[in-house]
Chains A and B, each alone.
Chain A
Amino acid sequence: MTRAVIAGGAETRFSRTSDLADLQFMAQAIRLALEETGISKADVDGIAFCANVLPDDSSYMAEHLGFSVRWTMKADYGGASSVLSVARAVEAVEAGRAEVVVCVGGGNRFDFTDLHHDAVSPPIDYAHRSFVLPYGYGGPNMQMALLQRRHMELYGTTLEQLGKIATTFRRHAQLNDNALLRGDMTLQDYLDSPLIADPIRKFDCVMRCAGAVAVIVTSEEYAKRLAKPPVYIGAYQEQHSFGANDMSPDKLETGFVAFRDKLFERIPREEMDFLQLYDDYPIAIVAQLEDLGFCKRGEGGKFIEDTDISIWGDLPINTSGGILSIGQPRLGGGYIPLIEAMRQVRGEAGPRQIKDAKTGLVSGIGLMSYLSNLVITCGMIVGKEPFE
């Protein structure tokens, strides 16, 4: 069977504002990824776009960028779109449907709607329109606030524990010159940052930015021709709408619990040299550590307190600064953990390099459900060597 690998990838410069349209950003990221891998555009025969839902759109987007391909997809899975697009590309390559697939996401800022690729905002879903927005509710800040409030009250999770996540990632970002937030942040700065939706405060919230990221998936055979070593994929799992049909879904239990045993079946947790987790909020890191089984339910705060999660510690998490300190370039944000995992296992992380980084975990989370929490969760184990 053909084995699919990650040939490489690259990101544009991230910025707080820009005049570029979404597709211009995506084109730039694709060009950089092709340059990084040495792949010619003519060899690309598959393309996946991370973008919001519009019908029948992915083929037109391919046409706009001049890609004549035999496989396209639109990844419309919120923040999980990026990792998920790579998983779908792997399936396409291994099924012989394509040999070189570009996965891309990003664009101009979410709130600059006239630069969106479709120039209109997609219609939001029914539940949000009638049962969420009319209350002045909605948006991730408030949704994560409900989750964090319950976690703090039930388990005694503290702001100091959550602040350790934000400040550690900030120290990592200071070693990444494409991170937009690199100023010093002390625990006191975190605690003193203004409340947005109690208990969520400003330094809990991801910052939207402009930019794009592209990753190229290809066959192991094709990758042999390339200058840089490929990144291997050891395991992948995803879960959609976990708990959504319960009468009273548990707000603190995410879809990771549904697949964690399968994800770590052949490559156990203990073999992870680092974790690159989708981090739009520190509480999302706590939830993922618990539900991925790195600690028990309710003990995520204590785990953070007791563990050195820095580049220099026992379990480095989000070594490039995370999306929290880099910025969130629309649905391209989810590639940031993957690109950093790629650089770590290739030994290309410069001042952020972890010693002997061979295997790591990348996660994606996306969208918030009416009552439970994350609509989509996914996890991918990547490594320097082929997995048997």
Chain B
Amino acid sequence: MTRPTPKTVPWDRDFWANAERGVLSAQRCDDCGRLQHYPKPVCSECLGANIRFEALSGRGEVYSFTTVRRPELPEFEAEAPYTVVDVLLDEGIRFLSRLADEQDAPGLKLGDKLTTVFKPVGDGTKHLPYFVKVRD
């Protein structure tokens, strides 16, 4: 079985293009101002189509997390344990992701500061946002 990788659809092209340049982005609606993630074909507030991807700071904090011992898909078994994080970005939207470095996992708690890094996945053309802990 091959590991699932993101598949580009017409409305998320710029998300992946930005990711390839190391930029985390989310959709901003020009009609109502809403910022949204995951990418949607329209603004899910006003249903307008005037949406574009806007660069984000890439910073946020831990909203919740789980260290996965038994993955749902066998393709991920070799990587376990790994830590999935639900991130509250500084811009006020949330983003599901994973710790880039498991050394950040011990002692992790809600509210810990995180920042984005990108890792190539699949055939290497897709860059997926991961997060690392910001040490103060």
Contacts and interface: CB of A to CB of B under 8 A. Distances in A.
A197 B65 CA distance: 9
A127 B37 CA distance: 10
A251 B64 CA distance: 9
Nearest to A150: B64
A198 B69 contact: yes
A251 B76 contact: no
Contacts of A150: 63-64, 110
Contact of B38 (A127, A136, A137, A197): A127
Interface in A125-181: 126-127, 129-139, 141-142, 145-147, 149-150, 153-154
A127 B15 CA distance: 13
Contacts, number: 111
Contacts of B5: 134
Interface stretch (A57-65, A241-249, A303-311, A346-354): A241-249
B66 A135 contact: no
Given A130-B38, A247-B93, A200 B66 contact: yes
B92 A197 contact: no
Contact of A135 (B34, B35, B80, B128): B128
A138 B82 CA distance: 13
9 interchain residue pairs of minimum CB distance: A139-B72, A145-B66, A136-B76, A130-B6, A133-B4, A146-B64, A150-B64, A198-B67, A135-B98
Interface of A: 126-127, 129-139, 141-142, 145-147, 149-150, 153-154, 194-200, 245, 247-249, 251, 370-371
Interface of B: 3-7, 9, 12, 34-36, 38, 44-45, 63-73, 75-76, 79-80, 82, 84, 86, 88, 92-94, 96-98, 109-110, 121, 128
